[in-house]
Structure 1
Amino acid sequence: MKDLESELFHYTSGRFLANEDLRLRERRRIFNIPGLFEIIAKARNCKTSEIVGFRKLAEGGLNRSFLVTLRDGFRLVVRIPYPILIPKAYAYASEVATMDFLRSKGLPIPEVYAYSYTPENEAGTEYMLIEYVEGIDLSQVWFNLEKKEIDSLMDQLAKLESIMMSIPFPAGGSIYYTTDLKQKGEPYLTSKPSLSHRRSVSAWALMYRYHSGMEKESKWTHSEFGSPRAPYRGFRRDCYNNEKQEPSDHTNNLRRYLLLAPSLVPDNDSLTAFCIRHPDLNLENIKVTTDSNGLQIRSVLDWQHAVVLPLFLHAGMPYDIQNEEDEVSRSMIRPKLPDDFDKLSQGEQIWEKQLLRRRLAHYNYILSTMVYNKAHHKGLAYPLGNFCRRIFNYATAPWEGETIKLQLALIEMVVGWDRFAKGGSTPCPVVIMLDEIDAAVKLGEELEIADENERMVRKYVGYGPETWVPAARYEKAVASGEEMKQKMLEVYSEDGGITDEKRALMMACWPLEAMDEVEFEEYL
């Protein structure tokens, strides 16, 4: 194979301020390009010589995409996962079946031409060959939309979600082709078996039956990999005295959750009906084009990790559209510019227009959902919905050295049991002692301060998740991070001095300092 250092195999979209070598290894994927061309030619019934263009298209959080151009002008996308995506087989096989199934229902989903969920093929990697969709990401025009465009897009989105969420399912879980489940490791390419077959998690018609994830997590924490570990987010380690945490604490909270979860299930059958929804409906995953009627949603991308759940667990506003922090949006007051808008400075007018856009998106999404997707609107209005989704996400998330979020949610439920007890007289099945409550609340408050400090550092330095920065800003970000670290050390010293031990602890927890991630890189 030629040039193993080619940018085709490596992450080049940015840099990382901490543990960069590991972050880049997680995203390094070498594959056989001639072998991949053979796969493309077979899928498109052409010769490899007809492939005249192959270039990197995008690099996401878990996958790298390439644009392929044929001599006749036809284009398609090849998507290849990073090593960090685990387990690839189930993730890829389920995503393909989900896309095909939803596309068969008339939803604007890219066509999958071929795929393999194992590296046992000519390319030596898992892959997906997907339809190339013309258009631009909605994020590219989002901040310049006019009111009528926002109105139209929210209507379109609500209608698409209504089609999607009205598809009935007998149970919950992930969608697969039965042939993929039977092959157990054999690559699957182009033949399409019936889409009527689904893999379901048996009999969890209600929230507390989402048992498989709980059992897997409990088994994992008791396995050889479930050893004590420090919290993954370094800035929070100071609140734990930089000590590793026991996985048994999280297992205990999972058991509590399973006892309490039945009380979170609504009595309304429409809220417990199983449905599917996009797992991450952000602006980058919505492709739009323009025609005589204005902006039109052309396609919805990236269905990795889509799952069938009860509606009340799927309900909620897309993160990029919701504006819950704003009182006007929470009150569902019709948005408008202030009466004295013409008297404001240019900067103030720009701010008010940005605020109006956020309020309009939030307001119109709710109204459009109310009109076109009544079932989802009912889920949005369910009083315990936000809490149910929050505690469910905490309970089903992988353990990364902390259980405090789940613990505090359980405490909230136990202390406020009257809100959750059906009939008002059912005794709470879980007892949490006062000293545990006090300790958890104190730790939660300390962690909030740590998180706020980390947000301050992030804003000052200008980095994103996993300390990512654009490559062009790397040197400047490194300097800014070092400057911020020295300022914080000075502040601590002025407040009464700082011991060598405290200094070492601060450095170990500094978010831009390299940290030990041996336990997180065993899969590489």
Structure 2
Amino acid sequence: MAPECPKQADPLFFYTSGRWLWNEDKQLQERFRYFLVPELQEAGRHAVGASRCLAITKIGEGNLNKAYRLEMDDGQIVVGKIPHPNAGPSFFTTASEVATMEYARSVLGLPVPKVLAWSASDNNPVGAEYIIMEEAKGTQLNRVWDDLPLKFRCDILRQVVDIESRLLSVSFQQIGSLYFKDSNVPGCMPAAPTAGSQKIVDQISSRFCLGPIARREFWENERAHMSQHQGPWTSASEYMVSVAQREMEWINLYGSSQLDSSLDVSKQFQFISSNQNSPDVHISALERYISAVPHLIPRDPTMTCPRFWHPDFHAGNIFIDEQNRISSIIDWPPLMLDYSVERRLFFPDNFKTLNEDEKNEIRYQVSQSILINSYETATAKINPVIHQKLHHPAGKTLKQLETFAGGSWDNCIFPLIECLLHVKR
């Protein structure tokens, strides 16, 4: 059992980046992770062969983990990463993240920090799963993005497209998470690339395997014991159907015992219809979802073959050097782009007559429109598969269906029903 989150916890363990308007104690508990600080320092020291770790500083925390800067007596610096309790299946998430980083770094040649030491179990001196890695080189892009000239921002976006191209250059026969072959992860299959150079295929086949998906929604509550719905899967259709089958099985087994939504503080401020607590209504909607999947999956195999992707590719996870070249990617479509603005590639004829606030708004719209156009043009040329997926008529619907089907009971059934009505029309 995880330690209780004390009211006055050490900031190293305690989430300090925000507050919650509801259920704050529970939210903080899900992000509180105690560990033995001297032992994490020792793990970092040992990883680089230093004599002593002089200091540890928390340098970042997201929804699922915290990162610590470890400074050694010889000047070396490494980063230690500790997952939160809400990160998902701790063994699988840690083992898969390490393998994916190594795959991106050593196989695809992407600028990813090298993992120096790691443990996917909390049965170690640190008392928690951890990753020790090189410190990301360069400056965090989100700190300088708005101040960069438009030309440099366009150049960086083209570099992002090139990185995406390398991620997409290898495809696989299964859908799941990547692991090292020697990690002894249960339920793994040989990683069988269907595209890529022979050198890359040999590297992957000799070092990696594909196993159960590490995404936390497949492991929440009693779903952790439903290994038959955790992959790997052999096709996009099999994966999509499995999401619904997982929820149907869970609802049949456990739904009736969890009908009292009044106990869930997170639902006290949202409307709950009688259908939300009806297993039959959920099962019926999920059956319609399963019937719709074959009609929505693209028939072109290049559109559905599994490929790796960075799930959190935003400016906070990208670092650049002094020449504005991408120097590091951490935390494995770019969010530097603001798709909410009105598309405007040219200044209006009356621009000179506008006041300064109006001019600044127009300047922002034009710069964002140019960036979006630059990214989409480069993507269409270099990564046509992604361009096709972004513009496939059923692409957005498929993603929404999967998300809503996987959370209809835990969240709300209305989005799933609405999406199914859209499909029917």
Same fold (TM over 0.5): yes
* 1:217 is aligned to 2:229: no
Residue 195 of structure 1 pairs with residue 225 of structure 2: no
In the alignment, which residue of structure 2 is the partner of 1:389?
A: 399
- Indicate the residue corresponding to 1:460 in structure 2: none
Distance 1:240 1:131, change over 3 A: same
Provide the C-alpha distance between the structure 2 equivalents of 1:284 and 1:234, rounded to a whole number of angstroms: 31
Match status 1:257 vs 2:289:
yes
CA displacement, residues 33-71 of structure 1 (integer Å, 9 cap, x when unaligned): 222233223322333xx2112111111111111100112
Picking from 283, 287, 305, the partner of 1:273 is: 305
Which secondary structure state, in structure 2, belongs to the residue aligned with residue 16 of structure 1?
coil
2:151 is the counterpart of 1:122: no
What's 1:106 paired with? 109
With over 3 angstroms needed to count, the CA separation of the structure-2 counterparts of 1:142 and 1:167, relative to structure 1, is: same
- The answer on whether the counterparts of 1:288 and 1:297 sit within 8 Å (CA) in structure 2 is yes
Corresponding residue of 1:131:
134
CA contact (8 A) 1:55 1:68 kept: yes
Partner residue of 1:237? 270
CA distance in 2, matches of 1:282, 1:298: 14
Counterpart contact for 2:276–2:412, Cα < 8 Å: no
* 1:353 is the counterpart of 2:363: yes
- Partner of 1:29, secondary structure, is coil
Partner of 1:420: none
Equivalent position SS for 1:89: helix
1:56–1:66 Cα contact (<8 Å) kept? yes
* Counterpart residue number, 1:80: 82
Name the SS for the 1:97 alignment partner.
helix
Superposed displacement of residue 372, structure 1: 1.8
CA contact (8 A) 1:96 1:112 kept: yes
Contact 1:245 1:401 in 2 (8 A): no
Distance 1:173 1:248, change over 3 A: farther
For 1:454-473, list aligned pairs within 5 A: none
Q: Percent identity between the aligned chains? A: 28
Query: Residue 321 in 1 paired to residue 337 in 2?
Result: yes
What does 1:420-435 align with in structure 2 at a 5 Å threshold?
none
Cα shift at 1:284: 1.3
Alignment gaps of 5+ in structure 2: 1-5, 188-203, 213-230
Alignment CA distance shift 1:247-1:114 (3 Å): farther
Residue 32 of structure 1 aligns with an amino acid whose one-letter code is L
- Secondary structure, in 3 states, of the residue corresponding to 2:86? coil
Query: Is residue 177–residue 194 contact of structure 1 (8 Å, CA) maintained in 2?
Result: no
Work out the CA distance in 2 between the residues paired with 1:203 and 1:27.
31
How big is the alpha-carbon RMSD for the aligned residues of Structure 1 and Structure 2? 2.8
Instruction: Pick the aligned partner of 2:234 from 204, 223, 243.
Output: 204
Q: How much does 1:261 deviate?
A: 0.3
Tell me, what secondary structure is at the counterpart of 1:162? helix
Report the Cα distance in structure 1 between the residues aligned to 2:342 and 2:16, rounded to whole angstroms: 41
Question: Contact conserved, 1:159 with 1:372, CA < 8 A, in 2?
Answer: yes
- Separation in structure 1 between the aligned mates of residue 89 and residue 408 of structure 2, nearest angstrom: 13
Residue matched to 2:219 = none
User: Does the 8 Å contact 1:38/1:122 carry over to 2?
Assistant: no
CA deviations 1:96-144 (Å, max 9, x no partner) are 1111111121111221112112210001111111211122322222323
Q: Residue 198 of structure 2 corresponds to which residue in structure 1?
A: none
**In the alignment, is the contact (CA less than 8 A) between 2:142 and 2:316 conserved in 1?**
yes
Partner of 1:35: 39
1:486 corresponding residue in structure 2? none
Deviation at residue 22 of structure 1 after TM alignment: 2.1
Identify the match of residue 67 of structure 2 among 65, 68, 88: 65
Deviation at 1:150, TM superposition (A): 2.3
TM-score (norm 2): 0.81
SS in 2 for 1:198: strand
Is the 8 Å Cα contact of residues 22 and 266 (structure 2) preserved in structure 1? no
C-alpha distance in 1, partners of 2:129/2:395?
A: 37
Any idea what the Cα deviations from partners look like across 1:212-243, whole Å, max 9, x if unmatched? 433333332233466225487547623638x9
Tell me the amino acid that sits aligned with residue 144 of structure 2: V
- Paired residues for 1:294-309 under 5 Å: 295-303=324-332
Kindly state the Cα deviation for residue 276 of structure 1 after the two structures are TM-superposed. 1.2
Query: Aligned pair count?
Result: 381
Cα distance in 2 for residues equivalent to 1:364 and 1:235: 45
Q: Which amino acid counterpart does residue 78 of structure 2 have in structure 1?
A: L
Contact 2:237–2:294, Cα closer than 8 Å, also in 1: yes
Residue 314 of structure 1 is matched in structure 2 by: none
| Contact 2:171–2:306 under 8 Å retained in 1 | yes
Secondary structure of the corresponding residue to residue 84 of structure 1: helix
Q: Choose between structure 1 and 2 for higher RCO, CA contacts under 8 A separated by at least 6 residues.
A: 1
Q: Which residue of 2 aligns with 1:484?
A: none
Work out which of the residue numbers 368, 371, 377 in structure 2 matches 1:367: 377
Q: Which amino acid aligns with 2:146?
A: F
Q: 1:79 to 1:249 in 2, by over 3 A?
A: farther
Q: CA deviation at 1:193?
A: 11
Question: For residues 125 and 212 of structure 1, what CA distance do their matches in structure 2 show?
Answer: 31
CA distance in 1, matches of 2:42, 2:186: 22
* Native 8 Å contact 1:221 1:248 kept in 2: no
After superposition, give the CA deviation of every residue in 1:318-360 in whole Å (9 maximum; x if it has no partner). 444251x4553xxxx7x12223322221111121122222212
Indicate the SS of the match to 1:262: helix
- Bigger Rg over Cα: 1
Rounded Cα–Cα distance in structure 2 between residues aligned with 1:283 and 1:16: 25
Pair 1:54–1:347, CA change in 2 (3 A):
same
Partner of 1:109, secondary structure, is coil
The answer to whether residue 42 in structure 2 is matched with residue 9 in structure 1 is: no
Return the alpha-carbon distance in structure 2 between the equivalents of residues 43 and 326 of structure 1. 47
Matched with 1:46 is 50
1:169 maps to a residue whose letter is: F
Deviation, 1:412, is 1.4
Task: Supply the distance in 1 between the matched residues of 2:29 and 2:266 (Cα, whole angstroms).
Answer: 19
CA contact (8 A) 1:204 1:211 kept: no
Structure 1 gaps of 5+ residues are: 185-191, 304-316, 417-524
Secondary structure in 1 matching 2:326 = strand
Instruction: State whether residues 177 and 210 of structure 2, in contact with CA within 8 Å, keep that contact through their aligned partners in structure 1.
Output: yes
Which whole-Å CA distance do the structure 2 matches of 1:151 and 1:404 have between them?
Answer: 40
Change (3 A) 1:30 1:209: closer
Candidates 343, 346, 349, aligned match of 1:339: 349
Query: Distance in 2 between the 1:206 and 1:136 partners?
Result: 38
Q: TM-score, normalised by structure 1?
A: 0.67
1:260 Cα deviation (Å)?
Answer: 1.2
Distance 1:131 1:223, change over 3 A: farther
* 1:271 Cα deviation after fit: 1.1
C-alpha separation between the residues in 1 aligned to 2:167 and 2:375?
A: 16
Deviation of residue 205 (structure 1)? 2.0
Q: Partner residue of 1:166?
A: 169
Q: 1:29 to 1:203 in 2, by over 3 A?
A: closer
